[in-house]
Chains A and B, each alone.
Chain A
C-alpha cells in the first residue's frame, strides 16, 4: 500500500489492560478525545488489545475504514510492538506505519493515585503519537546473516541442559563457567529430591554427557569480559586461562544464584554450630555429624522480610528433604521452626507428610516474632512463642541450620550492564514479559534460564534450559534475522562534505564519496548502519535523516506535547 501521497487515515486503539490501565485512567474519555485529533478516522477502546478479539478488531478497522496508520495506546513497545506490527502486516499495512503509545508502564502504573492527571497525560501522549504517525512512511527491512553458534554463560544444571539441547540440534556451543568445575550449586549438596539420587552422581552424569560432545566447547575458570554487537552477530571476549574472542548468533544467560549468607543473623559466622543449609548438606556429605543429637532448622532467615521480601520457594522442601535424611540415615532428631511451611504440588506435599510421619517436629512461630537463639553455659537453645501451643517453648540444639533464600550472584550488576539486560526488584534477572516471553530478554538474541531468573528446583531449571535453547535456536536455524529498517540517509544536496559524521560513526557506516563534479559527499552503507542517529545529531547542515525516527517526526512530537495545555501548564 502506498501512503506517500495519500492523506493519513489513522485508527487508534486504546487498551484497558483489564484494570492495569482502565483502573487508573479514564480510558473511554481518552478514546473519545482521540477522535478530535487531525486525521484520526477511527478510535476504539478494548479490554485487552493484545487478545484475539482486540487484534481482530484492529484488522477489521483497517479494512472497514481504509486506515493507513494504526496507533495502539497500551503497554510498552519493548514487549508488544512486534505483535501489533505483525497484526498490521497481516491486514496489508506496512508495519512501519504503526505507532506505539505507552500509557501503562509510563502512565497508569506510575501515576496510580492521580486519575485525572494520568488521563490528561495519556491524551497528550496519544496526541504526540498521532503527530508522529502522520509523518510515518513505509519501510522495507533488510536481512542480516546469523552466525549459527551460541554462547551459554554458566555451567550449572540450567546452562548444561541448554547446551545439550542446542548441541543436539547441531549447533556449535561455547559454554562458559566461572568455577573450576561444571555443576553449579548442586555440586555442594548431599542428595536430591525428587529421586534421592546422590547430588554429585547426578552432576557427573550430566557433565559426562557434555564432555563427549564435539560441538560443545567448555571454558572453565572463565568469565565473559565484554559483549558487543547484536542478535546474529555478537562479539564476545572471554577471560580465563586463555583470553579468546568468540563470535556467536545468540546468548543464553544461566548464571544461577547463590545462597544468602546470613551474616549478622543470630551468631552465624561466630559460632560454628550455626550453619546454612548448604553447609549442612556438606556436613552430611562428608559425614561430619558426630555427637549431633538435636538439629533445629529455622526457616525464612533473611527472606520474606524487608530486605529480601520474596519467598525463595525451595527452602521449605529442602529443609524437609534434609530432615528426612538426618532422621533416617543419621538418627538425628530434627525440629523445623517456621512461620508457615510452603510446599507446593503433589510431590512436596507428600514429602511433608512423610516427614511428619517419621517424627520430624514442626513448630510455628509468629510472623513478627522470630526465634531467639540463647547460649547458656555453652549450650545452644532456641526459644520461640509456639503458636500451636500458645506458650513460649525452649528447645536444645547441637546444630542450628538457618534456611536462607537464594539470591542473585554477586556480579549480576556488571553482567546486567554488559548484556544490557535488566534486573528486577528482587535483583534477579528480569525477563521481557512474564506471560508472553518468559525466557527472553527484551534485548533481541539474549535468553534466560534457571536460578538466574528466580529460585527454582532442578526439574524446573532443566525445563527452562530446554526452553531457552529452543528460543535461542530459532535465529540460528533460520540463518538470518530481519533487522529494523532504521538507518541514516544522507541528502547529497545538503551535504558539504565536512566529514564530521564519518568521524562519529562507530560502525564505519558512513563514507565520503566523490561525485562526478568533484564534490565530496557522505553516504550511508545501510548494512553497516545500526541506526543510532549520532551522525544525524552531528551534522550541522541537517543533511542526514534517520529513517523511521526523522527529525520532522520528533519535532512534531515535541510540538504536539506542548501544543495544548491539557496535561500540563497552568490549568484552571
Chain B
C-alpha cells in the first residue's frame, strides 16, 4: 500500500528566487521525485492563505511555499509578510485536523538548485510517511483567513 501512495503536492515558488532555484536544479540535472506541481507567483507574499486551504480541500497531500531568503525578497519584505501569514496557516491546518507537517515554508535562493532538489525530496518523503490527506472531501468550502 505504501508503495502505491503517490502524494500530490502543490508548490508555490516566488519568481525571483525559488522558481529560479527550481530552474537551476533542472539545468544541473539534480533529480527529485515527480510529485510536486509548481505554481509560479511573483513573491511568496502573494500566497493567500486561502490558496493553501483550497489545495488541501481539493485533495493535496502537502503544500509548500518557497521564497527568497529573509532580507533578499525582490520586493523588500514580501517574504516576511508571508512568514507571518504562514505561521497562522500552519496553526489553522492543525485546527482543521491536518498534520502541521503537511505544510512547509522554505527559503531557497536562485543559486540553490541543490537545495531545491533536497527540500522537495525531503518534503515528498515526509508526506509519504504521513500518508494521504485524511481531510480530503471533509474540509468545508470557503475556509478563509481570519487574521
Contact = CB atoms under 8 A, between A and B. Distances in A.
A76 B49 contact: no
Given A537-B47, A549-B42, A568-B7, A416 B110 contact: yes
Q: What DSSP secondary structure best describes chain B's contact surface?
A: loop
B29 interface: yes
A437 B85 CA distance: 37
Contacts of B58: 558-559, 562-563
Interface in B126-147: 132, 144-147
A422 B111 CA distance: 4
Contacts of B49: 537
Nearest to B21: A422
Interface string A110-124: 111110011011001
B48 A420 contact: no
B118 interface: no
Contacts of B48: 536-537, 551, 554
A442 interface: yes
A495 interface: no
B95 interface: no
Nearest to A119: B34
B64 interface: no
Given A537-B85, A568-B7, A558 B51 contact: yes
Given A76-B23, A416-B110, A568-B8, A532 B51 contact: no
Contacts of A531: 42
Interface in A174-196: none
Contacts of B22: 105-106
Contact of B37 (A125, A532, A536): A125
B26 A109 contact: yes
Contacts of B28: 424-425
B29 A533 contact: no
Contacts of A555: 51, 54
A118 B35 CA distance: 9
B51 A416 contact: no
Contact of B6 (A420, A421, A571): A571
Interface string A207-242: 000000000000000000000100000000000000
A561 B69 contact: no
B122 to A, nearest CB: 15
Interface in A65-112: 76-78, 102, 104-107, 109-112
A321 interface: no
B7 A532 contact: no
B16 A557 contact: no
Given A504-B81, A534-B81, A569-B8, A443 B76 contact: no
Interface string B23-65: 1111111111111011111110111111100110011100000
A567 interface: yes
Contact of B46 (A422, A537, A569): A537
A534 B24 contact: no
Given A128-B39, A506-B76, A549-B41, A538 B23 contact: no
Contact of B41 (A77, A421, A540, A554): A554
A546 interface: yes
Interface string A360-386: 000000000000000000000000000
Given A112-B29, A506-B76, A561 B8 contact: yes
B23 A106 contact: yes
B74 interface: yes
A274 to B, nearest CB: 33
B78 A534 contact: yes
Given A110-B30, A558-B55, A569-B6, A530 B20 contact: no
Contacts of A540: 144-147
A329 to B, nearest CB: 44
Contacts of B82: 537
Contacts of B7: 568
A417 interface: yes
B21 to A, nearest CB: 8
Q: Which of A102, A504, A537 has the most CB of B within 10 A?
A: A537
B35 A110 contact: no
A241 B20 CA distance: 36
9 closest A-B pairs by CB: A533-B46, A105-B26, A568-B8, A534-B45, A532-B75, A109-B26, A422-B110, A423-B111, A562-B58
Given A540-B144, A562-B60, 19 more contacts: A76-B23, A78-B23, A105-B22, A114-B34, A128-B39, A416-B111, A425-B28, A442-B20, A506-B75, A506-B78, A530-B75, A534-B78, A540-B147, A549-B46, A557-B39, A558-B39, A558-B54, A567-B8, A568-B9
Interface of A: 76-78, 102, 104-107, 109-114, 117-118, 120-121, 124-125, 128, 228, 413, 416-417, 420-425, 430, 442-443, 486, 504, 506-507, 530-534, 536-538, 540, 546, 549, 551, 554-555, 557-559, 561-563, 567-572
8 contacts: A78-B15, A78-B23, A110-B30, A121-B34, A420-B110, A533-B46, A551-B48, A554-B39
